[in-house]
Amino acid sequence: MRLLLPKEQDWQQVTDLLKDKFPLLEVTDRTMVQDQVQVLFRIEESQVSHIKKLAVDQGLETIRNRIDQFG
């Protein structure tokens, strides 16, 4: 994920907020791009796979519950 911030002093506050709300995000780079701070984040591939599996499992559970409920 790439995030552009208009003020350099905002980057630490935004980064801390994102890490608090989304602990799987890792900062991979921080650079200046045309007077803006560009911060790059990533999630490890193993975590992405785990999140995808959880989403599929949740979808299947929802379908099963609806079938049980409505026949």
| Contact (Cβ atoms closer than 8 angstroms) between residue 24 and residue 31 | no
Tens digits of residue pLDDT in 19-65:
899 999 998 988 888 889 898 999 999 999 999 999 999 999 999 99
Dihedral of CA atoms 53, 58, 60, 61 in degrees, nearest 10, equals: 140
How would you classify the pairing of strands 26-33 and 2-5? unpaired
Side by side, which strands form the sheet with 2-5?
Answer: 2-5, 36-42, 26-33
Q: Cα angle vertex 6, ends 5, 9, to 5°?
A: 80
Given this model, what pLDDT does residue 50 score?
Answer: 93
